[in-house]
């Protein structure tokens, strides 16, 4: 996968011109390659002709929103405090996706410094009207609700236009057949909330030219499907029109195992909206917790009608191990939608989300879902001058520390002083962990004195592992460090001869068992075989994201 040139050219041009002395204070660490291999047993199931694998976007790709323009589909996901932000994908069949851009693709657009990795940009919504794409989103703790526009999904995307006076989260746009546009969002209800998690869905008209909300705003759902039941966190609203009905679809009951999708309908866009008696139309909360190959947290869906009249739902869910742990975060799934008595149903009650699904009639039959789903080997030999779209920065980089030009064929990381526990941007290049069973490895030149470099597995600034090497007197010290909450520890270390110039490092994961190995030229040796992988799970680390892995370097002069 190659990054659309604008995103990283903008980053490189802007940051190379302004690169501070701090980024150049130490010699860069050179990485020869990075290899990621996924080996999930569930992905080894036979795939019958005309079928696809779920999730369609494996790894940390939560909160999907989808739109069709003619015969092409476009999808966006949350990226929280990772940069570039809000990935945009394109597909002809809803199954095989390719990245085409990022909405937040300039380092000057949003500043995530000081934010936990699960803050930043939440739950985007993508729509298209009169030749223009619109993405509305919430920059949590960094600006509020905004809209960005583009004439092409490949960009360029406009800088955020802030939606003044629109609070809460999860905004979305609906364009009615009469040309009027409406903005929906989650916010506090009128008056004082009646209980913890009591929220409402608000509606107001929207001017797609001035990009401003206009006129009155009105609560169209108070609390959820049944206020007497005290439903929590009604959010992720979308409106659709079909057969003279307006359908309002929302997520309900939080983003954990109780997560669900519910639907209402009305003859008027302003309501009143009546809930479907068979709600929820998607959930996994009524299944046994100890089931094999559990998929949990299902909800936050969006619907789209294909050109052949079929309807499909994209939604988030998580692949769990040991019942509750999931390191791959919230992923994007696809299922067909059945209409029953003019109500949409994504999955009947009591049914598990299938991992192999019959595809749309228009699905490409000879295409691979890799490297976004299934088992695969993805290797980056750093032969390009721009980073591939799989690579992410933890928060927005303000210095150009990732360099593919000065040493052709290698990734040069100019080490920053920040460690992985910083609330700024560490010199760590991340790619998503997409499998429960995987290996990630890299080869690097041993860094100069005063620098540590290696490979990391990272959930957020408080939960991570780092396998790194540094020069220590007349030898090298290879250390495996862990960070769990406020507790940092060196789990194990090894002394290597100072004559070692090249080193290979590897992380393996199999559910909760993580291993860390090295090769100093004499073959692979395990430093640790059974490190606790639950440290990297969302339910332990908190937040809304999944784990990432990748190369890192840091200066030691701050210690």
Express each pLDDT in 357-404 by its tens digit: 999 999 998 899 999 999 999 999 999 999 999 999 999 999 999 999
Residue 559: HSE in the Cβ half-sphere, 13 Å Cα cutoff: 9
Alpha carbons 470 and 472: distance in angstroms, whole number: 6
pLDDT digits (tens, 9 = 90+) for 197-209: 999 999 999 999 9
pLDDT digits (tens, 9 = 90+) for 235-259: 999 999 999 999 999 999 999 999 9
The closest alpha carbon to 315, from 252, 358, 251, belongs to: 251
Catalytic: which of 105, 125, 235, 452? 235
pLDDT band at 21 (very low <50, low <70, confident <90, very high): very low
Please give the distance of CA 522 from its chain centroid, rounded to a whole number: 38
pLDDT digits (tens, 9 = 90+) for 209-237: 999 999 999 999 999 999 999 999 999 99
pLDDT digits (tens, 9 = 90+) for 501-559: 999 999 999 999 999 999 999 999 999 999 999 999 999 999 999 999 999 999 997 54
Catalytic: which of 63, 252, 419, 452? 63
For residues 365 and 182, which has the higher predicted lDDT (pLDDT)?
A: 182
pLDDT digits (tens, 9 = 90+) for 412-422: 999 999 999 99
Alpha carbons 309 and 306: distance in angstroms, whole number: 5
Alpha carbons 313 and 97: distance in angstroms, whole number: 15
The closest alpha carbon to 457, from 478, 441, 477, belongs to: 441
Q: Please give the torsion angle defined by the CA atoms of residues 524, 528, 529 and 533, in that order, rounded to the nearest 10 degrees.
A: -130
The closest alpha carbon to 461, from 543, 368, 553, 338, belongs to: 543
The closest alpha carbon to 464, from 485, 444, 443, belongs to: 485
In this prediction, residue 558 carries a pLDDT of 53
Please give the distance of CA 549 from its chain centroid, rounded to a whole number: 14
In this prediction, residue 7 carries a pLDDT of 46
In this prediction, residue 25 carries a pLDDT of 57
The closest alpha carbon to 329, from 527, 77, 44, belongs to: 77
Tell whether the model's pLDDT for residue 3 goes beyond 60.
Answer: no
Phi, psi of 23 (to 5 degrees): -70, -20
519, 433 contact by CB (below 8 A): no
Residue 356: HSE in the Cβ half-sphere, 13 Å Cα cutoff: 11
Q: How far is CA 82 from CA 86, 107, 170, 288, 317, in A?
A: 9, 11, 18, 34, 20
Is residue 488 classed exposed, middle or buried when 0-12, 13-18 and 19+ CB atoms within 10 A define those classes? Answer: middle
Alpha carbons 302 and 102: distance in angstroms, whole number: 20
In this prediction, residue 11 carries a pLDDT of 46
Alpha carbons 240 and 437: distance in angstroms, whole number: 39
pLDDT band at 466 (very low <50, low <70, confident <90, very high): very high
In this prediction, residue 306 carries a pLDDT of 98
Please give the distance of CA 68 from its chain centroid, rounded to a whole number: 21
Tell whether the model's pLDDT for residue 184 goes beyond 60.
Answer: yes
Alpha carbons 113 and 448: distance in angstroms, whole number: 28
Phi, psi of 287 (to 5 degrees): -100, 155
State the DSSP H helix or E strand holding residue 9, giving kind and residue range, or none if neither.
Answer: helix 5-17
State the DSSP H helix or E strand holding residue 325, giving kind and residue range, or none if neither.
Answer: none
* Mean pLDDT (whole number) for 479-498: 97
63 is catalytic: yes
485, 469 contact by CB (below 8 A): no
- Using a CB cutoff of 8 Å and minimum separation of 24, what contacts does 276-282 make? 276/343, 278/343, 278/345, 278/349, 279/225, 280/252, 280/349, 281/249, 281/343, 281/344, 281/345, 281/346, 281/347, 282/313, 282/315, 282/335, 282/346, 282/347
In this structure, the number of other CB atoms found within 10 A of the CB of residue 489 comes to: 10
> Residue 217: beta bridge partners?
204
pLDDT band at 1 (very low <50, low <70, confident <90, very high): very low
Pairing, β 463-472 against β 451-460: antiparallel
Q: How far is CA 309 from CA 213, 441, 444, in A?
A: 32, 45, 52
The closest alpha carbon to 95, from 363, 313, 346, 332, belongs to: 363
State the DSSP H helix or E strand holding residue 13, giving kind and residue range, or none if neither.
Answer: helix 5-17
Phi, psi of 533 (to 5 degrees): -75, -15
In this prediction, residue 472 carries a pLDDT of 95
The closest alpha carbon to 235, from 255, 217, 264, 216, belongs to: 255
């Amino acid at each position: 996968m190659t990054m659309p040139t604008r995103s990283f050219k903008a980053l490189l041009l802007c940051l190379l011109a302004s690169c501070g002395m701090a980024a150049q204070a130490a010699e860069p660490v050179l990485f020869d390659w990075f290899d990621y291999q996924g080996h999930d047993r569930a992905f080894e199931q036979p795939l019958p002709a005309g079928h696809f694998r779920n999730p369609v976007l494996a790894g940390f790709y939560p909160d999907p929103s989808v739109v069709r323009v003619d015969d092409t589909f476009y999808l966006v996901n949350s990226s929280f405090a990772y940069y570039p932000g809000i990935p945009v994908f394109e597909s002809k069949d809803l199954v095989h996706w390719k990245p085409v851009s990022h909405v937040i693709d300039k380092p000057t657009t949003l500043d995530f410094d000081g934010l936990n990795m699960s803050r930043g940009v939440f739950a985007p919504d993508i729509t298209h009207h009169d030749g223009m794409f619109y993405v509305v989103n919430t920059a949590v703790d960094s600006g509020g609700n905004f809209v960005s526009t583009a004439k092409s999904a490949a960009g360029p995307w406009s800088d955020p236009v802030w939606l003044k006076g629109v609070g809460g989260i999860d905004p979305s746009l609906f364009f009615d057949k009469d040309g009027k546009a409406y903005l929906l969002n989650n916010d506090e209800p009128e008056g004082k909330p009646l209980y913890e998690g009591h929220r409402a869905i608000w509606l107001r008209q929207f001017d797609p030219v001035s990009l401003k909300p206009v006129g009155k705003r009105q609560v169209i759902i108070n609390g959820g499907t049944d206020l007497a039941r005290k439903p929590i966190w009604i959010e992720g609203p979308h409106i659709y029109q079909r057969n003279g009905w307006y359908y309002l679809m929302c997520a309900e009951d939080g983003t954990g195992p109780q997560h669900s999708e519910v639907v209402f309908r009305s003859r008027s866009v302003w309501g009143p909206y009546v809930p479907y008696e068979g709600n929820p139309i998607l959930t996994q909360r009524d299944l046994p917790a100890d089931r094999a190959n559990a998929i949990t947290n299902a909800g936050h869906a969006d619907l789209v009608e294909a050109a052949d009249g079929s309807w499909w739902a994209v939604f988030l869910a998580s692949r769990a191990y040991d019942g509750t742990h999931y390191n791959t975060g919230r992923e994007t799934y696809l299922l067909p939608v059945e209409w029953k008595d003019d109500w949409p149903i994504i999955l009947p009650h009591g049914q598990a989300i299938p991992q192999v699904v019959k595809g749309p009639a228009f699905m490409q039959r000879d295409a691979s879902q890799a490297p976004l789903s299934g088992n695969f080997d993805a290797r980056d030999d750093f032969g390009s001058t721009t980073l591939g779209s799989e690579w992410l920065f933890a928060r927005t980089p303000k210095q150009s520390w990732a360099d593919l030009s000065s040493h052709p064929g290698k990734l040069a990381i100019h080490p920053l002083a920040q460690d992985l526990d910083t609330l700024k941007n560490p010199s760590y290049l991340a790619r998503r962990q997409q499998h429960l069973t995987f290996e990630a490895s890299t080869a690097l030149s041993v860094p100069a004195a005063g620098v540590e470099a290696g490979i990391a597995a990272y959930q957020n600034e408080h939960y991570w592992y780092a396998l790194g090497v540094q020069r220590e007197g007349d030898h090298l010290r290879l250390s495996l460090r862990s960070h769990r909450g406020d507790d940092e520890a060196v789990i194990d270390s090894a002394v290597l001869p100072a004559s070692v110039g090249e080193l290979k490092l590897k992380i393996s994961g199999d559910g909760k068992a993580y291993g860390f190995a090295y090769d100093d030229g004499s073959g692979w040796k395990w430093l640790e075989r059974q490190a606790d992988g639950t440290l990297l799970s969302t339910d332990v680390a908190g937040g809304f994201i999944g784990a990432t892995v990748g190369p890192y370097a840091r200066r030691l002069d701050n210690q």
